[in-house]
Amino acid sequence: MKINRIAKIAGLAAFSVLAASATAPVSAAPRNASKATRISRSWVNLKTTLDQTKYSVGQPISVHLTATNTHSSGAYLKFTSGQRFDFSVSRIGQKETVYTWSAARMFTQALGSLWIKPGQSEEFDASVGDEMGQLKPGKYQLVAHLTNSPNSIFAAPVAFEVVDTGITLTTATDKTSYTIGEDVEIGLAATNRKNGVARLPFRSSQLFDVFITDESGAQIWNDGATKRFAQNQHDESWKKGETKKFTSRWNGSSLGVSPKLSAGRYRVQAVLQSTPNVYAAPVFIDITE
């Protein structure tokens, strides 16, 4: 069963530890048991993947967890609350945790369970936010685990890097309130704040995109969806203090099955399509009848 899969998954190595089975419960290995013994008795393999390996400061980091039952019998995991997983982030080479996913979240205090059939998987999606402050440039590792009791199941750490591109992207709309079907003019400004030339690599002729999402987070429209771009890898350069401006126009309709929008608040998110992406802080608009 897949739950809200939102990220493109890249294959990474995984590490599993002890899980229990409903048909043949397995007790925790003794403390003096060897690592090899514990791994040989493992039934559930937890794997962590990220959508990228390099991010710009402030860029969202999507995390995908896959818990797979590798045994011939079903795996029955017990939980003491509504929380099913957690993960933490630390700088590589340092023990101090700089981000914990559960730190700013609340969970129902009720016993729960998860049944995974032989060969099947349970999947979870989350993201590293800025609840504990933006991650500064540097190399990090993320360690995820299921919160089953008494023996949590851990995945192997995955590494990623946060870089400062030197480019700041800002977004503005021509108004803050529109009627349904009215055009929305969107302006982007990418400014080099480095004390010198800034360069960003691009995978194609598409330099930016703009995403419109509704209050539920569902994507309504994006600028590049109906356009074609030359697949030419190239670098874009900014002189010291230079600002490059771009414009986009949303015609107020949805790219989904129904072009009719409902009144509400919508999120406008702009991003440079560089490697890594550079994100602007989102802006919000209201659409009325």
| Alpha-carbon distance values, 116 to 6, 23, 43, 50, 176 (Å) | 21, 12, 10, 23, 47
Pairing type for strands 75-79 and 198-202 reads unpaired
Pairing type for strands 283-288 and 177-179 reads parallel
pLDDT tens digits, 11-48:
333 333 333 333 333 333 333 333 333 333 458 999 99
pLDDT tens digits, 135-167:
999 999 999 999 998 889 999 999 999 999 999
Write down the pLDDT at residue 37: 30
Residue that is written with structure tokens 């939980």 in the block: 79
Cα–Cα dist 56/189, whole Å: 17
What is the DSSP secondary structure assignment for residue 274, as one 8-state letter? B
Write down the pLDDT at residue 259: 59
Ranges of each domain in the chain? 35-163, 167-288
Write down the pLDDT at residue 258: 58
| Cβ atoms 50, 160 nearer than 8 A | yes
Nearest one of 246, 171, 160 to 202, comparing CA atoms: 246
Does this chain's domain 35-163 share its CATH topology with 167-288?
A: yes
Write down the pLDDT at residue 48: 98
Fold assignment, 167-288: Immunoglobulin-like (2.60.40)
Write down the pLDDT at residue 106: 94
* Torsion 124-127-128-133 (CA) sign: negative
Which residue blocks in the chain are alpha helix, DSSP H? 35-40
pLDDT tens digits, 221-261:
999 998 999 999 999 999 999 999 999 999 988 887 555 78
Cα–Cα dist 19/43, whole Å: 6
Q: Could you tell me how far CA 117 lies from the centroid of its own chain?
A: 27
pLDDT tens digits, 81-134:
999 999 999 999 999 999 999 998 999 999 999 999 999 999 999 999 888 888
What are the φ and ψ backbone dihedral angles of 123, each rounded to 5 degrees? -120, 145
Does the structure show a pLDDT above 50 at 173? yes
Please tell me the total number of residues recorded for the chain in this structure: 289
Domain 35-163, CATH: 2.60.40.2360
